[in-house]
């Protein structure tokens, strides 16, 4: 804390106060949780064996499990080879992201798909982890790591304990109880409080006796308090990440089934949250079966998303046009999703992205225009959370918001700072078309300009027409500048090939497997095709982006119009 003092003093007043308070609270909590007295309080009451057998609905990878059996651990773009029956806990990890995944036990579900030998290996690795880290470790017991390890271990405990001696099974059950109690005592704030409570409740459901009963009661009570803050009435997650809504739905479905096994009625707030989250996941599921890449969420594989919707009874219901600040526009073959709300605030913004009015476009089941796909587990820098990494417009040489860095980020987390706070969205439906009128104030403090985006789908021609403009709001605070450069970016999916026409402005986009392409026509001063990257399952893939450039006058603004149209006449001649 003393070493951080000068750096904290340089922060803006309100942020500095929050950072100091959080640093003091965290230091006190760290000292308490690391004490022998705290560790002693975690051991009672002792579990009396195992009860429910929670089942994680997330799909698992048998091939990845077989690799773990051979001692090959591959996470976050890094690898560690320890050989069959090797020990990954007695050596340094190749990266921090690798260590996080390893200690979260993300490999456990995959390993158990490898059959009885996989269960025996899961038991051995769990016992080895407990020998080294089970007492206490400041890294392995961090809440963001402990939460997922607890959930993964609770879903595996019955299977691995079938291979264990009575003493080993008792030790693992006690470890599960100790970790759940520690997680429930966490003071990290609201951002993942519901997820932490759900993981602790799943662990409690797996344990027999008073230990399990008390954990279920305490965790479900905490869950009942935190779910209304986490899940909006329309099912959106407070972080505004579609992926976060999906992951919480997985956890709650697991908990619901585990409570049923124990004969415990789930609380009304949890059932409401499940119903709302299921509706949100249904809304966010796109034509290719995945999710849109917004606000720190990845697209996710179609099979992964489908696993959460096995019991979704709303498949025949019409999908709403808007949820959680996102809007959908549908044409004959075009599907457009637009981010039409500000990013999350405060502690909820640690994974948020400063990318107002970003869009994604699909043609049938093919992604055409995307965003960068950055997520907290992506092997990429936080710089990918700003507007340049999204399919939206940028103005000047600064982003309208960026993640905290340095000491502030270490204390408060990488929250967004300085992002847009006001977004207007108006939707229009008519027989001749559907359109959105969007605007945000993210550039107003620096340039006195408001970004306005209009999106129109013509169902007759199956065209998407867009207009990006900058409109003066206040006298500019730009120190004598009259013009400021702007760019409208269209990041392309890695499976899309791009080429420019002879006029050097029109751009042909052709998705893999499609016989014809789509023209992106525009009236920009300059059009370039530049490199870009896109994250899938946390790993970067090379791709391209189309960049439309222009100059905006600070006293009168500017406008670019563009159109995405089928490369052939539509409908095709008979």
| Residue 43: per-residue pLDDT | 85
Quote the mean pLDDT of the chain.
90
Provide the β-strand partners of residue 549.
Answer: 487, 526
What six digits make up the tokens of 38? Answer: 């705290």
Residues shown for the chain: 574
**209-230 and 193-206 helices cross at what angle (nearest 10)?**
160
What six digits make up the tokens of 177? Answer: 């109880």
DSSP string for residues in 263-277: TPPPPHHHHHHHHHH
Would you tell me how many other CB atoms lie within 10 Å of the CB of residue 84? 9
Q: What is the mean pLDDT of residues 426-447?
A: 91
Q: How far is CA 483 from the centre of its chain?
A: 37
Closest CA to 280 of 333, 226, 244: 244
50 touches 258 (CB < 8 A): no
What six digits make up the tokens of 162? Answer: 């079938």
Domains belonging to the chain, first-starting first, are 1-28 (no CATH), 34-188 (no CATH), 339-566 (2.70.98.70)
What is the rounded CA–CA span in Å between residue 327 and residue 324? 9
| Residue 22: per-residue pLDDT | 62
- Tell me which of 572 and 142 has the higher pLDDT: 142
∠ CA 203-207-213 to the nearest 5 degrees? 90
Q: Which residue has the tokens 């999908």?
A: 319
324 touches 296 (CB < 8 A): no
Q: Helices (DSSP H) in 91-230: which residue ranges?
A: 96-103, 108-112, 116-133, 143-161, 166-184, 193-206, 209-230
Q: What is the pLDDT of residues 510-539, one digit of tens each?
A: 988 777 899 999 999 999 999 999 999 889
| Residue 472: per-residue pLDDT | 93
239 touches 346 (CB < 8 A): no
What is the band of 205 on the pLDDT scale with cuts at 50, 70, 90? very high
What is the rounded CA–CA span in Å between residue 541 and residue 493? 9
Q: What is the mean pLDDT of residues 257-274?
A: 96
Instruction: Kindly report whether the global pTM for this prediction surpasses the value 0.75.
Output: yes
| Residue 24: per-residue pLDDT | 67
Q: Which residue has the tokens 């949820």?
A: 323
What is the rounded CA–CA span in Å between residue 310 and residue 502? 49
For 315-448, where are the E strands, in sequence order?
322-323, 326-330, 334-339, 359-363, 366-370, 393-395, 402-403, 416-417, 423-430, 433-440
Q: What is the pLDDT of residues 48-77, one digit of tens each?
A: 999 999 999 999 999 999 999 999 999 988
Q: What is the mean pLDDT of residues 206-221?
A: 97
What is the rounded CA–CA span in Å between residue 343 and residue 364? 28
In this predicted structure, the answer to whether residue 455 has a pLDDT above a threshold of 70 is yes
What is the rounded CA–CA span in Å between residue 77 and residue 150? 24
What is the band of 349 on the pLDDT scale with cuts at 50, 70, 90? very high
Closest CA to 60 of 127, 134, 117, 112: 112
What six digits make up the tokens of 391? Answer: 């399919």
DSSP string for residues in 449-464: EEEEEEEEEETTTTEE
What six digits make up the tokens of 30? Answer: 């760290």
Nearby residues of 517 by Cβ (< 8 Å), 6 or more positions away: 508, 509, 510, 511, 567
């Amino acid at each position: 804390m003393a070493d951080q003092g000068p750096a904290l003093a340089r922060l803006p007043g309100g942020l500095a106060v929050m950072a100091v308070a959080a640093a003091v609270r965290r230091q006190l909590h760290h000292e308490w949780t690391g004490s022998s007295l705290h560790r002693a309080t975690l051991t009672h009451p002792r579990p009396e064996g195992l009860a429910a057998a929670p089942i994680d609905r997330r799909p698992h990878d048998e091939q990845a499990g077989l690799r773990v059996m051979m001692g090959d651990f591959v996470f976050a773009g890094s690898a560690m080879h320890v050989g069959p029956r090797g020990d990954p806990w007695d050596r340094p990890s190749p990266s921090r992201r690798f260590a996080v995944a390893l200690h979260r036990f993300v490999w456990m579900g995959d390993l158990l798909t490898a059959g009885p030998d996989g269960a025996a290996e899961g038991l051995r690795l769990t016992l080895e982890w407990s020998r080294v880290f089970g007492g206490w470790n400041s890294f392995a017991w961090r809440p963001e790591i402990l939460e997922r390890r607890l959930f993964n271990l609770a879903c595996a405990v019955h299977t691995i304990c079938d291979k264990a001696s009575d003493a080993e099974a008792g030790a693992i059950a006690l470890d599960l109880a100790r970790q759940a109690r520690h997680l429930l005592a966490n003071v990290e704030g609201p951002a993942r409080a519901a997820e932490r409570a759900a993981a602790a409740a799943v662990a409690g459901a797996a344990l027999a006796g008073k230990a399990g009963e008390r954990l279920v009661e305490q965790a479900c009570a905490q869950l009942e308090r935190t779910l209304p803050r986490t899940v909006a009435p329309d099912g959106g997650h407070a972080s505004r990440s579609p992926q976060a809504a999906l992951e919480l739905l997985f956890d709650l479905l697991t908990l619901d089934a585990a409570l049923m096994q124990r004969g415990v009625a789930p609380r009304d707030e949890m059932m409401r949250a499940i119903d709302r989250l299921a509706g949100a996941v249904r809304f966010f599921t796109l034509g290719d079966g995945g999710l849109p890449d917004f606000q720190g969420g990845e697209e996710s594989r179609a099979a992964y998303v489908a696993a959460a919707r096995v019991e979704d009874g709303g498949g025949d219901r019409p999908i709403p046009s808007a949820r959680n600040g996102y809007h959908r526009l549908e044409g004959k073959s075009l599907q457009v999703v637009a981010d039409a709300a500000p990013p999350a605030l405060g502690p909820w913004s640690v994974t948020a992205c400063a990318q107002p009015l970003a869009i994604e476009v699909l043609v049938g089941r093919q992604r055409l225009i995307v965003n960068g796909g950055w997520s907290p587990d992506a092997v990429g820098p936080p710089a990918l959370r700003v507007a340049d990494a999204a399919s939206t417009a940028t103005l000047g040489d600064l982003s309208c918001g960026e993640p905290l860095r340095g000491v502030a980020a270490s204390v408060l987390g990488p929250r967004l700072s300085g992002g847009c706070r006001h977004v207007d969205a108006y939707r229009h439906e008519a027989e001749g078309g559907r359109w959105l009128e969007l605007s945000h104030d993210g550039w107003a403090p620096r340039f006195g300009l408001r970004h306005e985006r209009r999106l129109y789908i013509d169902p007759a021609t199956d065209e998407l027409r867009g207009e990006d403009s900058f409109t003066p709001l206040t006298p500019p605070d730009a120190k004598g500048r009259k013009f400021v450069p702007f760019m409208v970016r269209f990041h392309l999916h890695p499976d899309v090939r791009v080429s420019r026409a002879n006029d050097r402005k029109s751009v042909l986009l052709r998705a893999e497997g499609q016989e014809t392409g789509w023209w992106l026509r525009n009236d920009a001063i300059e059009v370039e095709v530049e490199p870009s990257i896109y994250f899938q399952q946390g790993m970067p893939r090379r791709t391209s982006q189309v960049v439309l450039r222009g100059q905006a006058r600070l006293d009168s603004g500017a406008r670019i119009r563009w159109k995405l149209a089928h490369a052939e006449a539509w409908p095709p001649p008979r």
